[in-house]
Structure 1
Amino acid sequence: MVAYSIFLNFVEVFTLTAFVYLYYSFSSRKQFCLLLTSLFLICELCDILRENGIILMLGYFITSYLFVLYEKKTIYSGDIFILGGYVFLLFTYPYLSYCLFGNILDTPYAYVYYICAGITSKLFLILVTCWLLEHLKFTFHVPNKQYFLVIITEIVVLSIFGIIGYAAVDVTVSYNPILVCSLLLAVFILIIINGIYFNMVYTEKMQYEKQLQKEKYIKQSLRLIQNISYDIDDKKHRIHWILEHIKHLNNDTNPKISKAIKQYQSKNTYQKLVASKNPVFDILISVKINRLQDDNISIKPFFEISQNEKYDDLDFIDVISEILNYVKRNSEITLHIKGQGIYTLVELYSENDFYDYDRCKIESDLIVKKKNIYKDGIYYMKFLLKGTDDDVRENL
């Protein structure tokens, strides 16, 4: 029976080695022989010490995964999951064989049980391994961070099943109740932690989805408002030139007509609209410019920016609005916004001193650098918004 036991152990170890070698695509036969020898020595040592349960399972798993880790050079949760599942299945076949042939143990032909159970369990192992190698050809992706707790929980659960299975097969095997209770308590705690963690992940995902939907609806609304604004502005522009034509035809022959036209034109100033193809930026900056225009601040917009989501960011737009808040009344300035890679240069300039430099105390993480200069009869106020390319700062 000793030779028969060694034969069964060799079949078990050889099948496990073949699975690891073929599934994880080992490139060297020396690795196959070294893994086979290592696993077989662990198996025989556990047989001698009568540690054929959880200790042997962990020995198989740890040794096999060390070889996988040496081959791949990187830890993948998917590899741990598949190898752990396979090792657990390897230890379920003796229990299945016990369920099939357990009644023979109570008869004088107990040796028949060992022969039938041993051959059946190893036959199950070989057939399932062949099936897995044929069908389990895909790469099993498991996000390391998200599912690490799940994998730990499954390993502990499988360890408990291994203990229970071997205790049922071999009545001489006994385990410390404290060990079993500790593992069950660990499973209970891990399940609670998993629940809390995945609830947090789900909540964050839902908040992110809601934010995306909110931004989508805001952009749609702003595009609609922008289109309406363009239409209204176009009509105001036409009315303006129609009144100019009427004023020209009237040629001050009727003072009341000229006065009425002048009053209407003074109340309905032609509005400026920004068109940079960034809908949120365009409509909000247009509103800001026209509000300043009501305060007798004439702003000529000049933008050199491409269509990019960063310009529609509300924090970015708020910084530009805050910059414009310190323009003095009755000023005429040019607002120049230029994209420079990951930087954005915001530049205001005018022939007259137009800015409250002392009052300008804008606090924003987006502002990298600011300064005011006077050059060639022109006053400048410049802001460089966030970026990482130091070469661009030299252009300020």
Structure 2
Amino acid sequence: MTYFTLFINFIEVFLFSGFIAYTFNLNKKIRYTAIIGMINYAITNISSYYSYDGVFLTIAVLLVTIFGLIIETKTLNFKILFIPIIYNIIIILCTSISVEIVTYIFSIDISEIFLNSTIYYIACILSKILQLILSLFIYIVLDKYVITLKLKEWWIIIATEFSMIITIGLCLYSLNFGKINQMIIKSLLFLCVFSNILFYLVILVCNKNYNEKIQNAKKLQEYAFKKQKYKTIEHIKKETDILNHRMFYILWQIEWLLEKKDLSKIKETIEKYKSLLNKNQYVINSGNDIFDCLVSLKLSKCFDNNTDLKLSIAIEKNEFYDNLEFIDCLNTLIDAIILNNEDTDLSMLEINSFLVINICIKGNKDKNIKLNTAVDSLSKKYNTKTNIYFDDNSYNIRLSISITNRGEF
């Protein structure tokens, strides 16, 4: 065992322990790197002294590294087992790449590397350079992604990684030393079958998680639907309270006039509200209960503002219209029309897979800020095609909303 071997072993084990310490962001990185690095350094040098560089060396180094992590973090999870195994595969990969590069450049066989000290030194140094580069790359990647898999559920991946390490180790051993016998072939065949079984188990776990994800998604959809219905009920209750308050005021006014025995005023008050009811005519033929109810309650506000609003609705039953977000946008739009307090025609027609909303404010060529804000909000929410134009007697707005595959729970 030469000083160069001691140096290469030092670089390899301390790159490994340092990578683990910083990847897991340990509180005492230097202590972990020093202690685990020295233990693994001693194990590696003993192995080099007896000219052994096989699977058991890899397993011993892994056990020391993982055991140290468990002591430092006081926990055992998937990441603590997974990262060290992956890094060992990286070390093997770097060694293989450096050997291939050196044999290609110098046009020699793998066995000749160990016979020429200069070429051997070049191969070892190149291997450690690759290890450093890949360590930095993997560290940056792992810093951006958090591994949250549960060990109890995903232990199969750990077993698969162990199987891969042993398989790669046997293949490299046979390749480097040219030794292929029945024992090695049988071991590789067993590991291939074992890995296939593990892979099948991984598929089963993935399928189980997928089904659970679908069930959770359905539960979330049901919850969202119930939450929306609850909000809708609250909205209806609020509007109903407003309507009840309005009706109470009307009845109180009639009662006050009865006490005064002013029949002409009573008749005049009743005719006034009958006239308002006749002014606010609308046609609804949709079958969308929430939509119909809320729009009707919103239209009752026209009574207070004396707004001459004619509403025409011709739509089919569709979950899109009962979606609370659409209802809120539409209510905001109707509120802006009512507050504008002008003679207005509002139509909502379903044409093919589009809802076409036409607003015509008669005798008003001025832009209404609140109405335009409501239109912009609806346009941004549903990416509508909007056309605003003026003619001789009115201010017109036309919106076209795609209702295909919308409002699905």
TM superposition score normalised by structure 2: 0.49
Matches within 5 A, 1:1-396: 2-24=2-24, 25=26, 27=28, 29=30, 31-102=32-103, 103-105=107-109, 110-111=115-116, 112-132=118-138, 136-137=142-143, 140-145=146-151, 146-172=153-179, 176-218=184-226, 220=228
Note the C-alpha offset of 1:173. Answer: 7.5
Q: Give 1:130 shift.
A: 4.4
User: Are the aligned partners of 2:110 and 2:176 in contact in 1 as well (CA < 8 Å)?
Assistant: no
Could you tell me how far 1:169 is from its partner in structure 2? 2.6
Give distance in 1, aligned partners of 2:62 and 2:237: 68
Name the amino acid aligned to 2:135.
T
Residues 216, 2 of structure 1: alpha-carbon distance in 2 compared, 3 angstrom cutoff: closer
What value does the CA root-mean-square deviation take over the aligned residues?
4.1
- What is the deviation of 1:61? 1.4
C-alpha displacement at 1:210, in angstroms? 1.9
- Residues 17 and 36 of structure 1 are in contact (CA less than 8 Å); yes or no, is this contact kept in structure 2? yes
d(CA) in 1 for partners of 2:31, 2:238: 75
Q: 1:197 to 1:16 in 2, by over 3 A?
A: closer
Cα shift at 1:6: 3.4
Measured in 1, the distance between the counterparts of 2:156 and 2:111 equals: 46
Deviation per residue, 1:210-256 (Å, 9 max, x gap): 233234435545765787799899999979x99xx9xx99xxxxxxx
Cα offset for 1:89? 0.5
* CA distance in structure 1 between the aligned counterparts of 2:150 and 2:82, rounded to whole angstroms: 11
Measure the CA separation in 2 of the matches of 1:51 and 1:182: 23
SS in 2 for 1:99: helix
SS of equivalent to 2:96: helix
Residue ranges of structure 2 left out of the alignment (5+ in a row): 260-409
Following superposition, the deviation at residue 71 of structure 1 comes to 0.9
1:159 to partner: Cα distance: 3.3
Q: Which SS does the other structure have where 1:176 is aligned?
A: helix
Q: 1:235 to 1:182 in 2, by over 3 A?
A: same
Counterpart AA for 2:10: F
Q: Which runs of 5+ in 1 are unaligned?
A: 250-396
Kept in 2, the 8 Å contact 1:95–1:169? The answer is no
The residue number in structure 2 matching 1:391 is none
Distance of 1:108 and 1:152 partners within structure 2: 35
Residues 253-282 of structure 1: per-residue CA shift (max 9 Å, x gap): xxxxxxxxxxxxxxxxxxxxxxxxxxxxxx
Quick check: 33-42 or 56-65, which moved more? 33-42
Name the residue aligned to 1:325: none
Deviation (angstroms), 1:134: 6.1
Quote how far apart the aligned CAs of 1:39 are.
0.9
- Write the distance in 1 (CA, Å) between the matches of 2:141 and 2:243: 69
**What is the SS of the residue equivalent to 2:70?**
helix
Letter matched to residue 160 of structure 1: T
Given that residues 46 and 52 in structure 1 are in contact (C-alpha distance below 8 angstroms), is that contact kept between their aligned partners in structure 2? Answer: yes
SS in 2 for 1:52: coil
Distance 1:202 1:48, change over 3 A: same
SS class of match (1:104): coil
Greater helix share, 1 or 2? 2
Bigger shift: 221-230 or 152-161?
221-230
Assess, with a 3 A threshold, how the Cα gap between structure 1 residues 137 and 219 changes in structure 2: closer, same or farther.
closer
One-letter amino acid of the structure 2 residue matched with residue 67 of structure 1? G
Out of 156-165 and 21-30, give the one that drifted further.
21-30
Deviation at 1:63, TM superposition (A): 1.0
Q: In the superposition, relative to structure 1, how do residues 107 and 67 fare at CA in structure 2: closer, same or farther (>3 Å)?
A: closer
Aligned 8 A contact 1:97 1:117 in 2: yes
Cα distance between partner residues in 1 of 2:139 and 2:236 = 64
Please give the TM-score of this superposition, normalised by the length of structure 1.
0.51
Contact between 1:88 and 1:162, CA under 8 Å: does it hold in 2? no
Question: Cα–Cα, structure 1 residues 98 and 217, in superposed 2: closer, same or farther, change >3 Å?
Answer: same
Tell me the SS of whatever aligns to 2:108: helix
Instruction: Give the CA deviation at 1:195.
Output: 1.2
Q: In the superposition, relative to structure 1, how do residues 165 and 30 fare at CA in structure 2: closer, same or farther (>3 Å)?
A: same
Question: Cα distance 1:65–1:221, how it changes in 2: closer, same or farther (>3 A)?
Answer: closer
Structure 2 CA distance, aligned partners of 1:17 and 1:222? 56
The 3 A distance-change label for structure 1 pair 187 and 134 is: closer
Q: Report the CA distance shift for 1:57/1:225 in structure 2 as closer, same or farther (over 3 A).
A: same
CA distance in 2, matches of 1:211, 1:28: 44
State the aligned residue count.
251
CA distance in 2 between counterparts of 1:70 and 1:138 reads: 25
Q: 1:48 to 1:217 in 2, by over 3 A?
A: same
Deviations 1:51-101 (A, max 9, x none): 423222222211111111111111132232222211210111221122112
Q: Give, in whole Å, the separation in 1 of the partners of 2:167 and 2:239.
A: 72
Deviates more, 1:112-121 or 1:137-146: 137-146
Q: How far does residue 31 in structure 1 lie from its aligned partner after superposition? A: 4.3
Distance 1:207 1:144 in 2: 19
- 1:212–1:36: structure 2 CA closer, same or farther, 3 Å change rule? closer
How far has the Cα of 1:154 moved from its partner?
A: 3.0
